[in-house]
Structure 1
């Protein structure tokens, strides 16, 4: 079953790797030559070339797997998407949630969109300082649950909530609020909105995964977006942390209603379509990379003899076999259920973080 996935991973991986080298070379050149003269000009160029790279992954979702992303929100919020700085908080249902966000951002701010989760949240304060004078709209997405939702992790969260008298979650994990509080404290003065995003998979659709994407297997993803004004958040750290927990309690109830109705029917369904930008970019990269590889092989004489052709074929075959083994191992590991570790008595948030981390 993994061979079709490997057949896609290998050429796409080569394309992504080589195009990434080109993008990195452009970025390094601009950093040396342009950034000392104009920081904002460098940022604009960097955003554009980064988008040329990330659109390859958007193509994987939009055009190869043809994942349907249905957005439920009010018309005003939909119009604001990508036109303002925003802090995005979301539940974490699958391993492509960050890609769903990139698909939504592709129309306007893909090159300046960043998702933060797990260990990368330790670098959050340093990154936030650099965003203060960023000249173009950006999204900073925080997965405050800290890890992907599974039934084993939900059981751990429910056990902790029961032992501490907190509301018992049914569809989300207990949020880790330290990173969110730090983000709000740093971004109050220059970020006008928080996008509260809720992701759900309808009953009729299989769970989307990276493996399904590589195989070209479609899924449907429902995305509910609620916009909060940053200025309406409370002032103290404890109150901001409680605000985040309250949002997830409301998100839990919203997911209950989605389970019952199989839709976020209380909001307008906004059409996103499939923009051609990613299709054009991938086609352009493919032509550029293939032409460059052919030229390289001709210059290196690898295609001028049977030995060179055999060596090239053997190398490609080895890469394909290794990718097949890697994908098979990943699929087997994902299907192995996690064990719920017993809780340790620490502070409430430390206990929640510890129990959720041990499920990862």
Structure 2
């Protein structure tokens, strides 16, 4: 009985609206402090700015991690060798990951939080995103790499942006989706047509990767002395619910499998663009086989361990929830005691609609 009531609370629209309000309001507050620190601290000490900004970023992103781990009860099983997983924490890292699911970014955040580098997780994003309030402003002030989607323009700026990330004193993880966009049936058919016309690999579970950004990053990182990149493969096979943000918000648990494999830069030919491009295509042929085997057996190569759940994201979510719940409850109380019949009717109707939403 209690379990059904708790499930109803999780599925209720009021709960969803409350967490949305908490995320957006706290995000705007944190955006303000990010901008303040950017203007007042960064001109004098970039390292101090990044240290302070780390906690401001964490205050926003940790809420999403808490919803996934504590609200929905989602869990991650990590596959790979102990040696490779230890190497993941040893230096700045570049990860090449499949892009098949709506929540792949959130799964990465959960792993990064476990490795205590959530707010130093970096990625590539469309430049238009940086103008979006909360998450876009957060990313713009956290040195994410924004792209014009024009290689002529991006090739002139991407090197300097990568150097800024490599200058971090704390470890960063740069996530690259070489497919460029999320996998779906229509895009997959177009990818197969493109590959057939150019005699390139026909991939079953991935889109054909786009080589220019990968080649540039590998050559750049190799020159800067990095030792390896990581092949990362995400899969959902034994999960009872679809891997979507809606499932997380509804409190429905997901079970994700994430495979890490170290690929030394010494094994990647970078003397010519053609050789490096061929390596990328071959890598995705391997990734396709990994995914095919996983979908048949439920296993990736290597040993498996389930990531423990950290309490810090929950504390962050509780802090912001309590901080914002007090004025919200006060406002509701003021409306209901104002004596306005219209206000009471509107509020009661809204509450009734929300209560019947599950």
TM > 0.5: yes
User: Whole-Å Cα distance in 2 between the matches of residues 59 and 81 of structure 1?
Assistant: 23
CA contact (8 A) 2:81 2:302 kept: yes
1:130 aligns with one of 151, 159, 164: 164
Distance 1:49-1:164 versus aligned 2 partners, 3 A rule? same
Q: 1:52 is matched with which residue?
A: 59
CA distance in 2, matches of 1:87, 1:312: 55
Q: Mind listing any 5+ residue stretches in structure 2 that lack a counterpart?
A: 1-7, 128-145, 149-153
Residue 98 of structure 2 corresponds to which residue in structure 1? 91
Once the two structures are superposed, residues 22-65 of structure 1 have per-residue CA deviations (whole angstroms, 9 ceiling, x without a partner) of 21222122223222221101111101210121000001211111
Rounded to whole Å, the distance in 2 between the matches of 1:96 and 1:274 is 18
Q: Whole-Å Cα distance in 2 between the matches of residues 316 and 184 of structure 1?
A: 57
1:26 and 1:191, CA in 2 relative to 1: closer, same or farther beyond 3 A? Answer: farther
- Cα distance change on mapping 1:205 and 1:80 into 2, 3 Å: farther
**Aligned equivalents of 1:196 and 1:316: distance in 2?**
52
Q: Is the 8 A contact 2:241 2:252 kept in 1?
A: no
Q: Which of 202, 211, 219 is equivalent to 2:254?
A: 219
Aligned equivalent of 1:65, options 72, 76, 85: 72
> Does the aligned pair in 2 maintain the 1:302–1:312 contact within 8 Å?
no
Note if 1:113 corresponds to 2:115: no
Alpha-carbon distance change, 313 to 244 in structure 1, aligned in 2, over 3 angstroms: farther
TM-score (norm 1): 0.78
Supply the distance in 2 between the matched residues of 1:303 and 1:66 (Cα, whole angstroms).
Answer: 35
Cα–Cα, structure 1 residues 313 and 270, in superposed 2: closer, same or farther, change >3 Å? farther
CA RMSD, 1 decimal: 3.0
- Tell me if structure 2 keeps the 8 A contact 1:98–1:115: no
2:291 aligned with 1:255: yes
User: What is the SS of the residue equivalent to 2:58?
Assistant: helix
- Taking a change above 3 Å as real, the CA distance of residues 32 and 156 of structure 1, as seen in their structure-2 partners, is closer
- Greater than 6 Å deviation, 4+ residue runs: none
Q: Secondary structure at the match of 1:187?
A: helix
Determine the structure 2 residue equivalent to 1:306. Answer: 339
- TM-score relative to the length of structure 2: 0.79
Are the counterparts in 2 of residues 157 and 173 from structure 1 also a CA contact under 8 Å? yes
Partner in structure 2 of residue 153 of structure 1: 187
